[in-house]
Structure 1
Amino acid sequence: GYGWVGPLFWPFAYNDIYDYAIWGDDIGFWGYGYPDIYAGIFGPYGYDDLRGYLPERRTGRRYRGGGRIEQMCGNDSRSVAGLPVDQIADTVQPTEAQSAALGELGNASLAAAQVIRAACPAQVVLTAPNRLAAMQQRIEAMVTAVGIVKPPLDKFYGLLDDEQKARLNALAENQRKEAAARDPNATVAQSCGAAQPAMQEWPTGEIEARLQLSDTQRGALQVLQDASADAARKLKAACQTNEAMTPPARLAFVAKRLDVMLQAVKDVRAALQNFYATLSDEQKAQFEAIGPKRSA
C-alpha cells in the first residue's frame, strides 16, 4: 500500500477494496496495517513537507509543491470509481433480472466511492492525535462503503447460476495468476503479516532524551506502547492468507479486516490522547519532531 501520502491516509482506498473483492487483487488492500498506525503516531512529514498540501494563499499563489488535499482524494465519477459493470456483464452474460441486479451493484459502488471521498481531510493536521483521528475517519468511511456494496453484491451473485459463477470466479483467478507471474514474491502473508521492521520499533530512548518525562508521563507512555503492540498483534492475526474464491467471500474478509483495523486505531488513539494530555507544549513539539527526523 501507499500508506500516508502527505496528510492523506490510504489514497486509493475504494479501488483497493473493489480490486480485491471483485478481481482478487489482494496486495493493495492487505498491504495496510500496523505500520500505518505507527506512521500516524510518528508522522514522517514535517511542516515544510506538508506546506504544498495547504490551501492557496489569498494572493492566489500556491505554496511550494502546489498539491491540494482534495486533488489527492481520487475521482468518484462513475467512469473511474464505478465497478466495471460492462466487463462483468460480458463475462457472465446476465439475464434481464441479473442485469438489473448488476445495475444496482454499479450504483452502490458509485455511492460507496463517494462516501470514502467525502471522508478526505479538509486540512493538513500536524499532531499525532489529529492524524489518528483522520485515520479513524477514513476507515469508518471505508466500513460504511463496504456496508453499501455488500447487499447488492450478495444479491447479484446469488442470482447467478453455477456456470456464471464459475466464469466470474475464473476471471479473478486469471488476474491473480497474472499478478503472481509479474511479482511471485508479493503475497498477502508478506505484505500483511510481515514482522515489524526496525524502523517501526518505538524510539523509547529518544523520547526519554527529548521529552525528559516525569513518572506519570512515563507510565502513560507505557500504556500507549502496550496499546500499540496489542494493535500490531491483532492486525497480524487478522491477515487473510487463505485465498477466498468468490467476490462475496472476499468482501466479507474486507469487512472483517477493516473492523479490526478500526478498533486498533481507536485503542491506540485513546492511549495516545491520554499520553499527549500529560505533555507540555514544548514536550509536544519535541514528540512531533521525532517522526520527520527518523524518516530523514
Structure 2
Amino acid sequence: MMGGGGFGFFCNPRMAGFAEWRLQEIETAVHPNDKQKSALDELKAASAKAADIIIKDCSSAIPAKPTERLELAEKRLETMLQAIKSVRPAFQAFYESLDDTQRAALNSAGPRRWGWRHWRWPWDAE
C-alpha cells in the first residue's frame, strides 16, 4: 500500500479540497458584493465544519493488520465524502451567485495559482 506516512493524508482537511477553497484568495479573485459575501460566509462556515468532521473522525494510530488498515482507509474515505457533501451546497450557492466575469476569475484561480504548483500526491514516484 502506501506505507505508514501515506495514511496521514486521509486525515488532512487539505486533502479533501478544503485548502483549495482558500477563502481569502476566492474573495480576492471574485470581489464579491454584499449578497455574495453572505454566501461566502456560509461557505466559510461549511468549510470549517467539514474540516472539523475530518479531524474528529481521524485516528492517528495505524493498525498492524492489513485488513484493519483497509477498514480504516474505508472509514476515512467515508468521512471525507461526508465532509465534501457538507460543503457542496454552500459552494454551489456561492458559485451560482457569481456573474460570468467572477466565475471566470474563480475558474482561473485555484491550487496551481495558490502555491501548489509543485505539490505531489504521497504516492507519486520520486
Give the TM-score taking structure 2 as reference length.
0.73
Aligned pairs for 1:26-37 within 5 A: 26-32=4-10, 33-36=12-15, 37=17
Per the alignment, residue 114 of structure 2 pairs with 294
**In the alignment, is residue 270 of structure 1 matched against residue 89 of structure 2?**
yes
1-side partners of 2:85 and 2:4: how far apart? 25
Structure 1, residues 109-129: CA drift from partner, whole Å, max 9, x if none?
xxxxxxxxxxxxxxxxxxxxx
Aligned pairs for 1:45-194 within 5 A: none
Q: CA deviation at 1:210?
A: 4.0
2-side partners of 1:31 and 1:237: how far apart? 14
Per the alignment, residue 38 of structure 1 pairs with 18
Aligned pairs for 1:18-29 within 5 A: 19=1, 25-29=3-7
User: Which structure is higher in RCO with an 8 Å CA cutoff and minimum separation 6?
Assistant: 2
User: Quick one: percent identity of the two aligned structures?
Assistant: 35
Higher mean alpha-carbon deviation, 237-246 vs 216-225, is at 237-246
Structure 1, residues 62-100: CA drift from partner, whole Å, max 9, x if none?
xxxxxxxxxxxxxxxxxxxxxxxxxxxxxxxxxxxxxxx
Match of 1:35, SS state, is helix
Taking only aligned residues, the RMSD between alpha carbons, in angstroms, comes to: 2.3
Aligned residues: 113
Per the alignment, residue 74 of structure 2 pairs with 255
Based on CA coordinates, which of the two structures has the bigger radius of gyration?
Answer: 1
Structure 2 gap segments, 5+ residues each: 118-126
Give the TM-score taking structure 1 as reference length.
0.34
Structure 1 gap segments, 5+ residues each: 1-18, 43-200
2-side partners of 1:240 and 1:267: how far apart? 21
Could you say if the C-alpha distance between residues 210 and 245 of structure 1 is closer, same or farther in structure 2, counting changes exceeding 3 Å? closer
Could you say if the C-alpha distance between residues 258 and 209 of structure 1 is closer, same or farther in structure 2, counting changes exceeding 3 Å? closer
Aligned pairs for 1:223-242 within 5 A: 223-242=42-61
